[in-house]
Structure 1
Amino acid sequence: MNETCDVLIIGGGLVGASLAIALDGAGLRVALAEAVPPRLDLQPSYDERNLALARASVNALEALGVLNAAASQATPIRRIHVSRRGDFGAVRMDAGELGLPAFGAVLPARELGNALLRRLDGCAELARIAPAQAVAIDAGTDAVEVELRSGDATRRVRTRLLVGADGTESFVRGAFGIDAIRHDYAQSAFVTTLTTEKPLDGTAYERFTDSGPVALLPLGERRAGLVLTVPAADAERVAALDDEAFIAFVHERFGWRAGRLSRPGKRKPYPLARRLAERTIAPRTVLVGNAAQTVHPIGAQGFNLGLRDALTLAELLREAVATNSDPGDAALLARHVERRASDREATTAFSDDLVRLMGNDFLPLRLLRSLGFHALDRIAPLKRRFALRGMGFRGDVPTLSLLR
């Protein structure tokens, strides 16, 4: 079976689905191929994974009509508290003091996935191909041909632009021989949910320690999302802890700002490594999201960065339609690289530098770090600039993400 389209997106995860929605009604024939069939997950789970959405992401997802159905499940982040165990000083930011409604929101990944699927159902001109896995790619001058396999059946799709939104182990990236520079942080992250004695009341905590960062994210009804980072060599031991011992370990690392913690959910370690594609474009092909870069979860930048990849690409493709230009033109792809360069480089460097800086126990560095915390907490213009960057307003910001 041979088919043609203008844009073929490989990967129907959060970033790929967002791109498909952003192209809805753009006047392009868009196809979205996903390895698993789409399915709404209607069963809430106490220990489900939670996403910290930056303000720029909230703006865009609202503009795309995605967050309407999930708004009741989103918890606004109104305050941020950053500290480092063993150092003096802390950074405290209040959105209201900066004239902002919120820094962002925390939303269960399941709820965002469901909201994206519902919005995809409303994309009348979108061709959804699932289950389908890309198994071969042949790039030509005028188009890229992709072979998709579903069970024993195969189909070939000819597209003017191929988008790789297929994650860290991207098949699209590998098919074009694009290397991904990998750095192993020798850390593992446990992601789970806890119950707090004191309501977090919209406060997100980031606590740095010698052994790695700990984040506590506000959810409703005295629930909190936990991201606990440990040395990889210690992951197996922490995974074997019973609930009581695990809570004691979290208190040792995080402290008692939220009162006594209880009811930890299921947990398992996820090895942490950074992967940066050496280039994000190939003939008539572009990489977005984790296919382009996978970063440390510190600062919760991963999905937010990938969403800005998708939104920028959607803007450029809409401009191409308006000028009757080729969506796979090399100049358009070069423009995408140019527009994403500043944000991509700054955000990936920030995540990486923060891991190294906050994990270093060298005494002179601790003193400088503490002085930096003290200054950032007290100098309003510096604090506002730091907050805006953390909310995704850096570099060439996609129009849909701008403050409203």
Structure 2
Amino acid sequence: MKQHYDIIIIGGGMVGGSLAASLIPAAQRLGLSIAVVEAFPLPEAGSEEYQPSYDTRSTALSYGSRLIYEQIGIWQQLRQHLCPITHIHVSDKGRFGATRLNAEDEHVSALGYVVENHWLGRVLMNRLAQEDAAVIDLLCPAEVTDVVSDDNLMRVALTTAEGDQQITAELVVMADGGRSGLREQLGIGYQQKSYQQHAVIANISPETAHGNIAYERFTDTGPIALLPLEDSVLSGEASQQDFHRMGLVWTVPDEQIDEILGLTDQQFIERVHERFGYRAGVFVKVGERFSYPLKLSIADEQVRQGLIVLGNAAHALHPIAGQGYNLALRGVVALAAELIEAREAGVNLGDIHHLTRFADRVRQDQQKTIGFSDKTMKLFSNDNPLLALGRSAGLQLMDICPMAKTVFARSAMGLDQPTPDLR
């Protein structure tokens, strides 16, 4: 551990790890020193055989996120354990409207991908453990207890296994998630709106293969999304069995969450069929269920002198359309590009003027993505008959209008935003 770093990243999860990985070539070239601080022990790096577990949590990556990870240099390893989305089916329960997208029409190999969080974390750690990543120190397990500004430096207090430590940096990046205690400690307020809904997360198995199709089904109690996952192999005493898997994200009203979580596996499957139907076939197995309340949360400040708030600590949105992590990743590479420009120009990395420039660059993307998520949620949660008819007609019109479908697909794939050059 050094006493001073150019950049300290608080949080070694997918956002913090992606930022560190994206800065490795520039850090070598420009002499940047970077520390990643994580409260939990990070997974050991290595290329040993990886077996997907049945209940692992997953994230949807847009095609644009693939381009980002190709530039960072981890896509070839990442693609070993992910599932491409080649078709998307969007429908409105009880209405005639539906829209279907497919990768072939958009001239791409896949519209997106679904990756297990544990595998993405391992691939990122493998990248940070490579010999050329010696410019990055992984400080973990370590807990940040305080962050203060002192002239042109940021002072970070840590609690580690060796005792209390203090290190400094030109810039501190807070990527410690939506429940960031540091954000509150630093007096960074946030605008928050509850959707009065919970997301129920589980992996569920159809009897037949999913065919790389992702589904978004709007219902009168909230949307249901089903994402294709890599098949899982479960070993038993007598036999080994392959299970097709899909990631379920089911939005339910707050007042129903206890009932839904209390259902037996068979009751849960029956309720999913009642809400979703049988487009994906008959479900035969469901895994452990998780839930969390759905809120729109936006930090009042994303930049200060010497400080940046990134990822879920900056903005958390409804999981509809699966855009949350992709928005965060676009912010990661925009920040990396800005930091490279600043160091090449000899500017202090914590200078508020260039940090404000970064905030201005990502604001439009954030407003558009968050606004789309929020307005879509409101539109498809409204039981007004005229609105219901209009949205159903809109889905059907999009399905028969190639130009509208392409515009929508490119936005969903994250291809309407340029990818910064990190070289």
TM-score (norm 2): 0.91
The aligned counterpart of 1:29 is: 33
Structure 1 CA distance for aligned equivalents of residues 2 and 52 of structure 2: 40
Query: Does residue 398 of structure 1 match 2:419?
Result: yes
CA distance in structure 2 between the aligned counterparts of 1:198 and 1:377, rounded to whole angstroms: 26
Does residue 1:298 correspond to 2:320, yes or no? yes
SS of 1:96's partner is coil
Q: Provide the residue aligned with 1:115 in structure 2.
A: 123
Where in structure 2 are the equivalents of 1:107-186 lying within 5 Å? 107-122=115-130, 123-151=133-161, 153-186=163-196
The AA in structure 2 aligned to 1:24 is: I
The 5-angstrom pairing of residues 2-401 of structure 1 reads 3-26=3-26, 27=30, 28-40=32-44, 44-122=52-130, 123-151=133-161, 153-221=163-231, 222-395=244-417, 397-399=418-420
Task: Report how far residue 151 of structure 1 moved.
Answer: 4.8
Once structures 1 and 2 are overlaid, which stretch shifts more, 182-191 or 159-168?
182-191
For 1:283 and 1:358, how far apart are their aligned partners in 2? 41
One-letter amino acid matched to 1:6: D
How many residues end up aligned between the 2 structures? Answer: 400
- C-alpha contact (below 8 Å) 1:59/1:400 kept by paired residues: no
Task: Give the distance between the partners of 1:362 and 1:198, measured in 2 at CA.
Answer: 37
**Which SS does the other structure have where 2:192 is aligned?**
strand
3-state secondary structure, aligned to 1:365: helix
- Residue 40 of structure 1 and its aligned partner are, at CA, apart by 4.0
The superposition leaves residues 356-397 of structure 1 with CA deviations (integer Å, 9 ceiling, x where unpaired) of 1111110010111111112211211111111111112345x3
1:315-373 per-position Cα deviation (integer Å, ceiling 9, x unaligned) = 01111222222211112101111110111011111111111111111001011111111
C-alpha distance in structure 2 between counterparts of 1:14 and 1:400, whole Å: 20
Q: State the percentage of identical aligned residues.
A: 38
Matches of 1:9 and 1:171, distance apart in 2: 15
Per-residue CA deviations over 1:66-87 (Å, capped at 9, x if unaligned) read: 2322312111111111011022
Contact 2:60 2:114 in 1 (8 A): yes
Unaligned runs of 5+ in 2: 232-243
* Secondary structure of 1:245 counterpart: helix
User: Given the superposition, is the C-alpha separation of residues 2 and 70 from structure 1 closer, same or farther in structure 2, using an over 3 Å criterion?
Assistant: closer
C-alpha deviation, 1:270, in angstroms: 1.6
How far off its partner does 1:176 sit? 2.9
**Equivalents in 1 of 2:24, 2:215: separation in Å?**
37
Q: For 1:117-158, what per-residue CA distance to the aligned partner results, in whole angstroms no more than 9, with x for missing partners? A: 111112111011111111111112311111011257111111
Alignment RMSD, CA only?
1.7
Q: CA deviation at 1:195?
A: 1.3
- Say if 2:337 and 2:421, in contact at 8 Å, map to a contact too: no
Q: One-letter code of the match for 1:4?
A: H
d(CA) in 1 for partners of 2:347 and 2:155? 20
Residues 361 and 385 of structure 1: is their aligned pair in 2 closer, same or farther, counting only changes over 3 Å?
same
What's the CA shift string for 1:162-190, capped at 9, x where partnerless?
10101112234223311111111111111
Q: Is the 8 A contact 2:214 2:227 kept in 1?
A: yes
Residues 343 and 394 of structure 1 are in contact (CA less than 8 Å); yes or no, is this contact kept in structure 2?
Answer: no
> Aligned letter for 1:207?
R
Whole-Å separation in 2 of the counterparts to 1:53 and 1:324: 35
Amino acid at match of 1:230: V
Q: Structure 1 39/220 Cα, relative in aligned 2: closer, same or farther at 3 Å?
A: closer
Relative distance call for 1:55 and 1:400 in structure 2 (3 A) is farther
Relative to structure 1, is the Cα distance of residues 223 and 400 closer, same or farther in structure 2, using a 3 angstrom cutoff?
Answer: farther
Q: CA separation of 1:2/1:156 partners in 2, compared to 1, >3 Å: closer, same or farther?
A: farther
The one-letter amino acid paired with 1:113 is G
Contact kept in structure 2, 1:60 and 1:400, CA below 8 Å: no
The CA distance in 2 between the partners of 1:275 and 1:336, in whole Å, is: 20
Deviation at 1:43, TM superposition (A): 5.7
Answer whether contact 1:134 1:171 (CA < 8 A) is retained: no
Letter in 1 for 2:100: R
Q: 1:399 to 1:2 in 2, by over 3 A?
A: closer
- Long gaps (5+) in structure 1: none
SS at match of 1:8: strand
Residue-by-residue CA offset, 1:257-296 (whole Å, 9 max, x unaligned): 1111111001132221121101211111111100100111
Q: Is the partner of 2:105 in helix, strand or coil?
A: helix
Could you tell me whether the CA contact under 8 Å between 1:21 and 1:64 is conserved in 2?
A: yes
CA contact (8 A) 1:180 1:276 kept: yes
In 1, the alpha carbon distance for the partners of 2:165 and 2:249 equals 41
